[in-house]
Chain A
Amino acid sequence: MPEGSGKIQVRCTVNNKAVTFEAYPMARLLDALREELRLTGTKEGCGEGECGACTVEMDGALVNSCLVPAAQVEATKILTIEGVASGERLHAVQQAFITNGGAQCGICTPGMILAAVNLLRRFPEPTEVQIREGLSGNLCRCTGYTKIFESVVAACGESERDA
């Protein structure tokens, strides 16, 4: 087995802060966030791009961080669940999940919230179909989805204030 090239230095912006971390080029962004940067809000479910628990934004676009190798993180801007609130003030989507029972065990929640925040940025007044499609990459084993859907609907009117 060839030896690989050792760790690389990756410079990027995470939640509006410039950071540098060391990782093997094929290390997953998910692990870099959780283990190097101690941002454990991002969860791992399937590890293969199916469940959305590891969803973050990279340069404004949703990605599954389990499918992004560290070598492709250089010079990007990452947003994780830790960066969604402004200080103590929750984002409208976060507040709506609390008010509407959109979270139970919480494993899917960071990914769901990132997917919803990203959706509302692309479509400030989404249709039902757009909401369902925007969340379709995120699996939840607890809520039955209805309360999550309702949380996003509730957040729609509120989110302009936060955008």
Chain B
Amino acid sequence: MRSHVPSYEIETPKDLGAALDRMANEPGAWKPFAGGTDLMVLLEAGKLVERRFLNIWKLPELKGIEITSSHVILGALTTYTEVRSSEVLAREFPLLCRAASETGSVATQNRGTLGGNIANASPAADSPPALLAYDAEVEIVSSRGNRWKAYSGFHVGYKAMDLVADELINRIRLLRSKRDWKQHYRKVGTRRAQAVSKVCFAGAARMQQGRIADVRIALGSIAPIVLRATETEKMLTGEKPSPAVRQAAQEMLAREITPIDDIRSTARYRQRVAQNLLVEFLEMLAT
């Protein structure tokens, strides 16, 4: 049943500074509200617990894609549609573009934002595996200042993040260092459009004379958080993606992930699919 609409407040701060002051003065009382693609669904289900929201959707400070010689810097409010239509992202960060185009429908992509996807902290989100594969960093702001931190390690447990009550995700930064890496993204869901994933895989590797010189492997929906399979990465580094190595990597991956049974799939299915996607990636590296 829908939540009681009159009991919610939404305030529209005039700029980022005003939003941060609000959050600093009453820590925890105000929750940022961006494109609403997650929060409005909770409202509809009667599960929107917070009562007061800051409408940050139009704040210009959180918008736009900035390109420097070393980085692509995405405002937290960058929508999936904007990700999909960026040429530099298409060229150098195809995993993120794939993730954006496989998230929801056109309408969802117009309103869903990268910052929102991170802050919602769903283990089934589609863009976080891509961000992990690119060693993304997130900039956190508050009225006390700002800090950059590695996105890997930002999610610390189910729906738990390294983000305190007065802090807001400001920007996401990608180092332009992987354009020559071989990259692979695959989302497995019930149907092609509009489905939340059962397993989502993002992989990137730098190959040198047939060997894996450096590699990133990240998955969604296989643990309480979106995860980088660092042990599997370590094991693969320096190896040729031969059948024996693929077999060993599959076994290592199974030890690193902790999929669960839920409404969308089963733990066994998820484990097998995650392993298959890893093999698919490694086979691609061998070609």
Range of interface residues on chain B? 35 or more
Interface stretch (choices A84-92, A98-106, A129-137): A129-137
A4 touches B51 (CB 8 A): yes
A71 touches B41 (CB 8 A): no
Whether B275 sits at the interface, judged by CB under 8 Å, is: no
A-B contact number at CB 8 A = 102
Q: Please, how many angstroms separate the alpha-carbon atoms of A134 and B193 in the complex?
A: 10
Q: How far is the CB of B35 from chain A (nearest CB, A)?
A: 8
Name the B residues within 8 Å of A1 (CB-CB). Answer: 4, 7, 51
**A48 touching B44 in the complex, CB below 8 Å, given contacts A3-B7, A136-B193:** yes
- CB closest residue in chain A, given B36: A67
Q: Please, how many angstroms separate the alpha-carbon atoms of A2 and B109 in the complex?
A: 32
Whether B37 sits at the interface, judged by CB under 8 Å, is: yes
A2 touches B194 (CB 8 A): no
A24 touches B41 (CB 8 A): no
B7 touches A4 (CB 8 A): yes
B110 touches A63 (CB 8 A): yes
Name the A residues within 8 Å of B10 (CB-CB). Answer: 25-26, 69, 71-72
**Chain B, 2-39, contact with A by CB distance < 8 Å: what is the 0/1 string?**
10111111111000000000000000000001011100
A136 touches B9 (CB 8 A): no
Q: How far is the CB of B42 from chain A (nearest CB, A)?
A: 9
Which residue among A1, A49, A55, A119 has the maximum number of chain B CB atoms within 10 Å of its CB?
Answer: A49
Q: Please, how many angstroms separate the alpha-carbon atoms of A98 and B203 in the complex?
A: 47
Whether A117 sits at the interface, judged by CB under 8 Å, is: no
Whether B175 sits at the interface, judged by CB under 8 Å, is: no
- CB closest residue in chain A, given B101: A133
14 contacts across the A-B interface (CB closer than 8 A): A2-B7, A2-B9, A2-B52, A3-B7, A4-B7, A26-B10, A26-B53, A48-B41, A49-B41, A67-B41, A67-B111, A72-B57, A134-B106, A136-B192
The 7 lowest CB-CB distance pairs between A and B, nearest first, are: A137-B105, A136-B193, A26-B8, A25-B10, A71-B10, A67-B40, A61-B110
